[in-house]
Structure 1
Amino acid sequence: MLPGLEAAELPADAIEVGRIADAWGIKGWFKVLPYSANPEALFSSKSWFLLPTGKGTTTFEGVGRLNIKEAKAHSDTVVASAHGVDDRNAADGLRGARIFIAKSSFPTPQKDEYYWVDLIGLAVVNRESVVLGEVRELLSTGPQTVLVIDDLVDGQTLQRMIPFVAAYIDDVDLITRRILVDWQPDY
């Protein structure tokens, strides 16, 4: 294992949240490319689980746990330091690593806030109880987020896109795994 990495098991609730892009400075800091515009999970978790990149040269194998000293926003990225990663060479060895965090260590969302990962797979139903499909992914278009919904119609997959805004979203029920929308099948 590399300096700072401890052999570990990937938690059952692990979510991939970013990857390490490069060393940053000479004191062991490294630059992280988060997968979210709001990388709060990276800031709140003190244990990151790393897997080697699936491409190119890797400097470690298996799952490693990295104990984070500090993580902070820097431009459109995150920079972090970890215990045992004390110089540029050690930080450089982490380049390309995929970062996973246990979902149980994510900050609790506020009322009417949801983690995208919790919305994937939810059924989407309109006010007339017509099933419009299942959330496949979410897209950030800048001013708003859009639900990308797959619906199987006559053996063909039909894709719908519904803005994830209060004008169209009536209710999100994570317990019943359903989103109620003001949307018609022919929109």
Structure 2
Amino acid sequence: MSALVCVARIGAAHGVRGAVKLWTFTEDPFAVKRYGPLLSKDGKRQFEVAQAREAKDHLVATFKGVATRDEAERLNGIELYVARDKLPATDADEYYHTDLIGLAAVTTDGEALGRVLAIHNFGASDIIEIAPPKGATMLLPFTNAVVPEVDLAGGRVIIALPQEIEGEDKDEVLSTGRPRERGDP
């Protein structure tokens, strides 16, 4: 079986007939109905979407075999996965997060930075997290300027490190050693 990819997360129960809030991580929220049975992270449980309708920022869905609010409440927080090979192919410059995690991260000069640990999105845009061999992880914008090349076949991403990170310019640090704040002389 190919790697599993998280495509949705079950939220709180909705109503009294077994419906739940369902947050999808797919371009088309209703794609979760086309993948067939969805799996729990360990692959031991299967869930099949019986019905789904659009809500404000999620779907309201029912699963086959779930008919009561109590049954729906027990599903809260379960992440739903599908085998990677069931997902559609990506276009050029499109990647599934799972395809990037674990790749080597190197600078444009070939210097090793570490490995891709995760891709995050906190609302504005994607951020790539790189774990160096030692020290704290590095969070960088996942943009064409910072990540000019993704070489899946070669197992690496090329990182063009920003020349300057806002707020870390040595001229912006006061003699006290703390960063200069708005209104400081």
Conserved? CA contact 2:6–2:82, under 8 Å: yes
Aligned residues: 164
| CA RMSD after TM alignment | 3.1
> 2:144 aligned with 1:166, yes or no?
yes
Separation in structure 1 between the aligned mates of residue 71 and residue 136 of structure 2, nearest angstrom: 48
Match of 1:108 among 89, 105, 108: 89
CA deviations 1:2-26 (Å, max 9, x no partner) are xxxxxxxxx5522344432222234
TM-score when scaled to structure 2?
A: 0.70
Query: What's the counterpart of residue 10 of structure 2?
Result: 20
- Flag the structure with larger Rg: 2
Task: Give 1:89 shift.
Answer: 4.3
C-alpha separation between the residues in 2 aligned to 1:72 and 1:82? Answer: 12
- 2:129 is matched with 148
Judge conservation of contact 1:124–1:132 (CA < 8 Å) in 2: yes
Relative to structure 1, the CA distance from residue 94 to residue 181 in structure 2 (aligned partners, 3 Å threshold; closer, same or farther) is closer
AA in 1 matched with 2:160: D
Return the TM-score normalized by structure 1.
0.69
Partner of 1:32: 22
- Unpaired runs of 5+ residues, structure 1, are 1-10, 53-61
- In structure 1, the partner of 2:55 is 74
Once the two structures are TM-superposed, the CA of residue 93 in structure 1 deviates from its matched residue by: 4.2
- Which blocks of at least 5 consecutive residues in structure 2 are unaligned? 166-185
Which structure 2 residues correspond to residues 38-117 of structure 1 after superposition, within 5 A?
A: 38=27, 40=29, 42-50=32-40, 63-117=44-98
SS of structure 2 residue aligned to 1:157 = coil
> C-alpha displacement at 1:86, in angstroms?
3.6
Residue 118 of structure 2 corresponds to residue 137 of structure 1 = yes
Cα distance between partner residues in 2 of 1:168 and 1:29: 42
Post-superposition offset of 1:76: 2.6
Q: Larger strand proportion, structure 1 or 2?
A: 1
Higher RCO, Cα 8 Å, sep 6+ = 1
User: For residues 123 and 76 of structure 2, what CA distance do their matches in structure 1 show?
Assistant: 29
